[in-house]
Structure 1
Amino acid sequence: MGPQPPAGATALVLGGLLAVSCSKDDNDAAPFAPAAVTFSAAGLFPEGVQYDAKNSAFLVSSLSTGNIGRVKDDGTCTVLAQGSTAGIVSAVGLNLDDSRNRVLVASSNSMARDRAKLVSLNRDNGTVNFNVDLGALRSSPNHFANDVAVDGQGNAYVTDSFAPVIYKVDAQGVATVFLDNAQLAGATGAFGLNGIVFHAGAGSGYLSSGQN
């Protein structure tokens, strides 16, 4: 995560995937979706992407502005939530929690790498449900909230790339340390924990996380 690149056109090559995923049966005709969606936004530096079927748009996080954008198939781009208003410096990983009508944002500072927060937004209008400071739970020279996963009860799990920690935040915004293990730390000055996924199972399910 170095200096931010200049403004330019950003392509989301995800439309073709939608056509496949929307088909219930091989014999059903898949709804039209473009092979790629291209749009321009000043200084965007996109990081996380989720598809919001309810609003027929991609949600895109900006590492440079902290904004959460909403991009339609025709390339129309609007701002769902301003980073400056939501208290987000760098928006990293996204998770669309469909059943709770919210977008969860892993919030960091890509330059200073001094914070790890989780921000919950209303998926329709971008208002802030909560903004919780995760880095305050664990002393470390650096913090960087990278990705977020959600279980069936609405608990969110957030990775910290500069502290060997996975945080847990319940549906009301109460945060705790879920896992703290020095073996998960990256090399000095390097990113450690990165993506995270919740796998639903017969019991409570399980988490899997990757490292750089």
Structure 2
Amino acid sequence: MKLSLPLLLFSTLLFIFLALSVPFAAGRKPHFINFRSRNLFPESFTWDPKSQHFIVGSTRHQKLIAVSDAGIVESLITDTSLPENSSFLGLTVDRYTNRLLACIHRPPSPESPTPFNALASYDLQSNRRLFLSPLRDEIEMVENAVANDVAVDFHGDAYVTNSGGDFIWKITLNGDVSILSKSKAFKSHPIDTTTDYHKCGLNGIVFSPRGYLLVVQSNTGKLFKVNVDDGAARAVILNRDLTAADGISIREDGVVLVVSQEKLYFLNSNDGWGEGGVYDETALERERFATAVTVGDERRVYVLYGHVRKGINGNEEREEFGIAEVESEKESEEEPVWLYILIGIGLFIFFIWRFQMHRLVESLNKKTV
């Protein structure tokens, strides 16, 4: 077996590169961002790939901030025209139209017994508000309605979950509102009324590039697949319930991420989410109260630590909050395996090269003699 000189040189360089890269690949620490914004108590955030920063909402202020990966905070949008005591709940970036979509919610009060829910659309170049579409059900007024999370499809149509009424609104690119789904599937599973989140139904929502919605339900731990054309929905068969599921996101490789206060679930499916499974879960810091998950650059997964429970109390003061990268331990264990395989190939080629060089030297010595 003979190898050309260029191939031998390439093999040697490949071996050296792989040998040096393993410690760095295996030893990279997850990224953690501490940022400061007085009494923000954020419940929602999303990643803006164009500006390369996170957009973070507030449950106490009518503002949105930008947070860099170094923790530098800049004011992005302040919308004082929103009703007083409004909160920014779900956020998502429409990458095709460069818009930010934000769920607005103001809980009922003695002065205003009917809650206010709306979807706001902001142009991310000018930060100008494009529309504010009130969200309600004209047939059945839901006193505990909460516009909780939002997803957007390829056409710019947005989909908002109502956690109090267990249905999904649809909002067009121009801000026209209709109800997409009031599927009976959303009310077909038992609820443990002893939990402190038993009134929170449909919550996190994401649009799959394959053309459907995936929605989690907090008080049942179920995941639903919803048709964007007719609103037909059915529960995804899972190997376990997603206890206290809150935010949801999806990676480019199809892995679905669901966050709760205590853990981040990693899910996959081989049949387009007729069935799926949790293949890993990572414990989170309970006291920091994670509420949202998003995917940043290079498929990195981040959760938001907004200390929301303390913020809900109304009398707490806080300056610092966090965004933490979270990794799957199983994925981290599997990644170095491929590097070791490549190193093995490199070693194999390297020893062949050494053998060939040894034979070449012996041949030259014989000719010299």
Specify the TM-score bucket, using the shorter chain as the normaliser.
0.7 to 0.9
Counterpart of 1:207?
213
Deviates more, 1:157-166 or 1:65-74: 65-74
Find the residue that maps to 2:44 and give its secondary structure. Answer: strand
Give, as a single letter, the amino acid of the residue that structure 1 aligns with 2:90: G
Find the residue that maps to 2:43 and give its secondary structure. Answer: strand
**1:76 and 2:110 equivalent?**
no
Deviates more, 1:84-93 or 1:140-149: 84-93
Give, as a single letter, the amino acid of the residue that structure 2 aligns with 1:209: V
Aligned 1:152-171 pairs, distance under 5 A = 152-171=154-173
Contiguous gaps of at least 5 residues in structure 1: 1-25
Instruction: Report if aligned partners of 2:108, 2:116 keep a CA contact under 8 Å in 1.
Output: no
Counterpart of 1:66?
62
Measured against aligned partners, the alpha-carbon deviations of 1:62-119 in whole angstroms (never above 9, x if no partner) come to: 1121311111233221221114245581000101001101000011125758122100
Find the residue that maps to 1:177 and give its secondary structure. Answer: strand
Matches of 2:58 and 2:108 in 1, distance apart?
Answer: 13
Aligned 1:3-152 pairs, distance under 5 A = 35-86=31-82, 89-110=86-107, 112=109, 114-135=115-136, 137=138, 138-152=140-154
Instruction: Report if aligned partners of 1:105, 1:148 keep a CA contact under 8 Å in 2.
Output: yes
Give, as a single letter, the amino acid of the residue that structure 1 aligns with 2:65: G
Find the residue that maps to 1:196 and give its secondary structure. Answer: strand
Higher relative contact order (CA 8 A, sep 6+): 2
Q: After TM superposition, where is structure 1 displaced by more than 4 Å over at least 4 residues in a row?
A: 110-113, 185-189
Matches of 2:59 and 2:206 in 1, distance apart?
Answer: 21
- Alignment identity in percent? 31
Matches of 1:85 and 1:73 in 2, distance apart?
Answer: 30
Distance 1:38 1:110, change over 3 A: farther
Instruction: Report if aligned partners of 2:91, 2:103 keep a CA contact under 8 Å in 1.
Output: yes
Give, as a single letter, the amino acid of the residue that structure 2 aligns with 1:199: S
Bigger radius of gyration, 1 or 2?
Answer: 2
Aligned Cα RMSD in Å? 2.9
Give, as a single letter, the amino acid of the residue that structure 2 aligns with 1:93: G
Contiguous gaps of at least 5 residues in structure 2: 1-20, 219-369
Measured against aligned partners, the alpha-carbon deviations of 1:107-165 in whole angstroms (never above 9, x if no partner) come to: 11257581221000111332110000012545111211110011111110000111121
Find the residue that maps to 1:184 and give its secondary structure. Answer: helix
Structure 1 residue 183: Cα displacement: 5.2
Matches of 1:175 and 1:164 in 2, distance apart?
Answer: 17
Instruction: Report if aligned partners of 2:89, 2:103 keep a CA contact under 8 Å in 1.
Output: yes
Instruction: Report if aligned partners of 1:160, 1:193 keep a CA contact under 8 Å in 2.
Output: yes
Deviates more, 1:113-122 or 1:152-161: 113-122
Structure 1 residue 181: Cα displacement: 3.7
Structure with higher strand content: 1
Instruction: Report if aligned partners of 1:164, 1:182 keep a CA contact under 8 Å in 2.
Output: no
Matches of 1:211 and 1:95 in 2, distance apart?
Answer: 19
Structure 1 residue 200: Cα displacement: 2.3
TM-score between the two structures when normalised by the length of structure 1: 0.75
Instruction: Report if aligned partners of 1:37, 1:74 keep a CA contact under 8 Å in 2.
Output: yes
Matches of 2:129 and 2:171 in 1, distance apart?
Answer: 15
Matches of 2:83 and 2:96 in 1, distance apart?
Answer: 24
Counterpart of 2:265?
none
Give, as a single letter, the amino acid of the residue that structure 1 aligns with 2:130: N
